[in-house]
Amino acid sequence: MNLTARGWTVLGGGVAWCVAALAIGQRDLWWPGLFLVLLPLASRLLLVPGSGGLTVTRRLGPDRVSVGEPVRVHLVLDPSGISVGGVARVRDRLPEALGQARWFGSAMGLGLWQQSITYEVRPRWRGRHRIGPLDRTVADGLGLARSTHTIPGQSELLVTPRVEPLANLRGASGVGLATDTSLLRTGLGSADDVLVREYQQGDDVRRIHWRSTAHAGQLMVRREERSWDPSATIVIDNRSRGYSTRVHDDRLEWAVSAAASIAIHLLADGFDLSLVGADGHLVAPHRVGTGRESMVLEHLADLAPDRAHTLRDALAATNRGAEGQLLVALLSRVDAADASALAEAARAGRTCWAVLLASSAQLDAAQAATVREAGWACVVAGPGTPVADAWRQLGREGTR
């Protein structure tokens, strides 16, 4: 608790007034100077009761959102000391991803003074962001003294990548159960392999399954499918050397958003999905049960730049088990070592698609040619390009 600049000015002026009054022998003028001396000191003492302990209750609604969605933060401030007046200001400390912290002020009444504050934030990038601690200042009405405290306690906000809806790419090999592509029909079908799904525009009306339609109350079509579901692996090039030193690099954020969009799309189409980072660590949500989308989004929310130098470990991880019938890679940059690993991954006869993150036109063209020479369909995209547009372009590229 300290005097403000105004308080020190008043105190200094009072002392000077008293000294001058005594110096010229005018004792009657000493009393105004004494008043000016005592005024900031009294203001400081009056803040003591209201500057005691404070209990802060913080609620986030909701505590998990995707990038750009609003979050309401509700604060309840419950003081343990009796206030005798003044002006209180509080603010939550916010990380850069949640914007600039704002001060909220109001006059304090007499007694146990409880305050409720609600404000809104919109996260600009993914991750686990901590809100708090709370800064609180209490000042007297004249602005002569101020008490500043930091109340510990933080709340975590989980921000997942933005997910864009993607189109089903009919005729593009390897894209989901709803596309009825050649990738989904290997081996001979049997009566046990006949499944049904909702009718989608473009389906052959001769495949309508009338019994299921009557039971479901909407058009259902037969889908002959192999006895196991297709699998896909998404490789995310999160090598730190491919991005700026900032964790929230726009290109990396776009790549993670694209990975999330593609992953959710493939999960909805029934794929057995795996995610692989540059370090080769593979994450595969369980096929049975719920929460697969949540697991994927949480994993991508926590994805950070990695120190790996090549993609060899990441691409080698896609060869495990039955993974990798569809291989989608989001690449930041490609050198000779990466080109060799990409060519090796394409030799397994899988469908290999790549999105090269845009940097400069000349470099992008050269690297895209290198990726295509390795046997991959490749498009160049990045911040400013809707993921859905890149996905459609990738589907066209993959059918050539």
Question: Phi/psi at 59 (nearest 5 deg)?
Answer: -125, 135
Whole-number pLDDT of residue 370? 95
- 49-160 is classed in which CATH architecture? Sandwich (2.60)
Burial class, 95, CB count within 10 angstroms (exposed 0-12 / middle 13-18 / buried 19+): middle
Structure tokens at 131: 């809100």
Q: What is the mean pLDDT of residues 344-361?
A: 88
Q: Are 300 and 275 in contact (CB under 8 A)?
A: yes
Pick the more confident residue, 64 or 41: 64
Show Cβ contacts of residue 361 under 8 Å, excluding neighbours closer than 6 positions: none
Pick the more confident residue, 107 or 78: 78
Show Cβ contacts of residue 396 under 8 Å, excluding neighbours closer than 6 positions: 172
CA 306 vs. chain centroid, Å, equals: 18
Q: Which CATH superfamily is domain 228-398 in?
A: von Willebrand factor, type A domain (3.40.50.410)
DSSP H or E run through 40: helix 30-46
pLDDT band at 225 (very low <50, low <70, confident <90, very high): very low
Whole-number pLDDT of residue 247? 65
Pick the more confident residue, 318 or 155: 155
Q: Is the pLDDT of residue 384 over 80?
A: yes
Whole-number pLDDT of residue 183? 37
- What is the pTM for the complete model shown? 0.79
CA angle 353, 290, 187 (to 5 degrees): 50
Whole-number pLDDT of residue 140? 85
Whole-number pLDDT of residue 175? 43
Q: Are 263 and 303 in contact (CB under 8 A)?
A: no
Whole-number pLDDT of residue 385? 94
Whole-number pLDDT of residue 61? 93
pLDDT band at 228 (very low <50, low <70, confident <90, very high): low
Q: What is the mean pLDDT of residues 339-360?
A: 90
- Eight-class DSSP state of 239: B
**Range among 36-45, 223-232, 325-334 rated most confident:** 325-334
- Eight-class DSSP state of 206: G
- Among residues of the chain, what percentage have pLDDT more than 70? 83
Q: Is the pLDDT of residue 289 over 60?
A: no
**Strands, sheet with 155-160, edge to edge from the N-terminal-most edge strand:** 64-66, 155-160, 127-131
**SS3 state of residue 293:** helix
Whole-number pLDDT of residue 53? 75
Question: Rounded mean pLDDT of the chain?
Answer: 84
Q: Is the pLDDT of residue 190 over 80?
A: no
Q: Is the pLDDT of residue 129 over 90?
A: yes
Distance, in Å, from the CA atom of 149 to the CA atom of 81, rounded to the nearest integer, reads 14
Residue 259's closest CA among 230, 287, 233? Answer: 233
Q: Is the pLDDT of residue 141 over 60?
A: yes
Residue 386: cis peptide before it, omega within 30 degrees of 0: no
